[in-house]
Structure 1
Amino acid sequence: MQNYTIILVLWKYKLGLRELRKPSHVRLFVVAPPRILQDESNVDVYYQVEPPMADLNNSQLLEKVRELCSIYTSSQLRLVVFERKLQRPIAQLRKELNIEGFLPDQLDILFSVRDAISNPRRNGLATLRQCSLSGTPQPEQWMEAVKAQIGGFPAIVEPIKPHTANSIGIIRNELEFKSWFRRQSKAHRFEEYLVTEYIDDGREFSLLCTSKNGIIGCISSLESHRLVIESIQSQKPFGFEFFSVQQTRDILPGLESFAVQVMRSVFPRGYSGILFIKGFYKNHNDIFFLGFSLEPEWDTFRQLLSIMKPFFFWECLAIENLYDQEPANDLAESKKYNAILNFPSSEGILIHQTTIHKRSCQEMRVAWRASEGQEMSDSDSIDDNVVQIYLSCTNRERLLEDCSTILDQTDITIDKNVLSERQNVAKRNLTVKELIRSCTTTD
């Protein structure tokens, strides 16, 4: 039996490994700053590395990992990370030291918005139509390209470079297309945009998969009549559900075979670790592939997954998938249905933390993300929220009914006028006398 050496690298992600099933032929080393590893169970050696505040590239962490890799070259080495910031430098280490796992060129395919969709499309997967727009904004010419390549409007326009939710446009017609680019050219200097066809009447999902277990769970948007990005931009509450394997089969039929098809088309030689497949589900015949990630994209997703403990530890499953551990037969089969509700923040001051009464669900937990009197700005992502509500119930109909009631009836008091009034007062107090001319002279 081969000996495995697993090196787990953490930076800010706090983690416990009590539920990890680790046989005797596997050694687990953790390289992380102090107080990051919350439970040292199953860890053979914990190497604490305290990187300086200015070390934005995590050079000390990576140097320690490189040192350990040089020592344990005789065993089957595997490098594991759960944070997006560490994925690329660790992939570069794998390439330099010839270690199995995702390499930089594979990460480019996974993380590129265009490549992640165009490659599976060539292998017969259903994807959304797209087109790229680059250079100086030319609304008339670009509009013709959109009509020719994706069939016209409505459409979703977003910059290729990293961006926020508020720099994404949901364009309904040609007039909105022109005005949106006019506003963008004044506020931002993005050089390239991606236009994707708009679809609705379905669910956005993130499907968790491993090469050994297949699908191990699914995160799905709660509402089917509106995209999550639309809820964020309009500051309307939204939610997500988590489904176990059997729940996924029952509620979203066809997703399991879709995941197998994606894996075979993108990774014909197999892969190691865990993958999150992003997509859009209308029905078992209409499932669209939207991309990959190697970890939960949002803290909201991590929090929803944490509700499943002790039934579900995706981090432990990701590590177990790297060595010869038999798949768990009772994987993530909690009998409960779980959901998380997000109430996006909006510009203003939170006046009062409203009392949110418990409903018929067996479990309900409320977490305020803003304090009374706190100044807030408009939500820019799934994670920018005033309050989050977690619900668990053995009856899904009751869970959905409670979610609908909370989303519709919860009123959060935010004073949206205070900040604008403060700006107006500041402008009125600025008199002509305060504008003093000055100059600098030298001898």
Structure 2
Amino acid sequence: MNWSIKQQVVSYEFLIKLSVKFIFNDHKNWKMKLCIVLVLFYGYICHGSEIWYQAEMSSYLVPPFQNVYTTLQRNILDKLLTVDSNSLITNDAALNSFASNLHCELEKLLEHLDASVVASNNIRIKVDRKLSTILSEISAKESEIARVDGQVKDMNAKIQAKQSQINAAEQTVRQAEGSVADAENALRRAEKEVEDAQLCGGLFGRKKRFLGDLWNSIQTSVLKPIESAVNTAAGAIESAVNTAGGAIIDNIVKPVCGVINFQQLDNTRRNVENKKNELAFFRNQVQTLKNDLNSIQSDLVTFNTQLYNFNYQLNQLKSSLIALPNEQHIILSINQKLTAIVGHIRTSLGKSTSLVDAITAVVDFEPIVKPLNAIYDELQQNQFMVSFDIGKISVEQINQAKTSFQALITSALSFQFSMGGTRCSK
């Protein structure tokens, strides 16, 4: 794994660890913070798809490909370019050693090519599987979004219905408050009537007390002047006056005072109490409805958060889906090129066991070097192969190597080394 990939992984891991620490250090709004962590974590997973692809290419394809390129350029082409044909044609041992060495390098080249084909094919299979998996995940995520979106709509409908219930209940409370006020006014009136009746009855509780001034006037102006003359009649007159005073109280004064109705007062008090109980019940009902509304609104926040997260995850999946076909195209193209190179070499070797034919088949720009250079560019441009100290093989190098090899063949007529005559060390 190259350094840039490691940096991306470390950055995401640091953000997730920091967010988790933030949740445990501060428990306020922990649900929302947890959602943020989940979003980061899912982003890490989705972004990890690109990181995974880079890691696969850098770790499994680049090493065998670099071995292919190094073997072809340094161990085959450079040796052909620097060979001293004059010294070899006079030294059979040196010529055989040179031929054996070329043969072993050719075998190594084929081994590295085979390893590159296997690596590219494995990555291609993994990319195909990932593409299929992501398509399934997108379908599942869209189903989740549809489900949660339905729950959000259901919560909004419940909130609207609950708000209507609250409005109706609050109207009932206002009516109950009016009923309590009316009952309390009725109670105050009843209490005033009883109080007035009690006060009135108290004023006329004694006849003489009420007729005090009138009685004294009668005694002074009527009774006393004739007291001495009519002592016998005095008792009769006093009795008549008393009878008249009692009649005034009984027939004139008493009807002015209201009747003291304690039963009605008690009923009015009970009515006030009942109205207050009804008001308390309706207020409690409103509070219960508001609690229900708060609970539904809390659920709505949760569902909206889920909906946001699912949409974010869906976008991440779709982003991965956008990247994967390109990744699939890259690895498929590389795999096809490598397979074609191996096929060309093995086909050439199948027609002849001569080392000359084998080297001639390998030192060929169009079927061998050109596709290898295309893979070289692809790996570097996509930063899969960030450090490689060997430059690309040019057409000039191939032509020079061909010229040098042809000169060697022409000079050494016995240079028809068999591919089966040498055992190379692994």
Please indicate, yes or no, whether the TM-score normalized by the shorter chain is above 0.5. no
Higher helix proportion (structure 1 or 2): 2
Relative contact order higher in (CA < 8 Å, ≥ 6 apart)? 2
Higher strand proportion (structure 1 or 2): 1
Identify the TM-score tier after normalising by the shorter chain: under 0.3
Structure with greater Cα Rg: 2
Give the TM-score taking structure 2 as reference length. Answer: 0.16
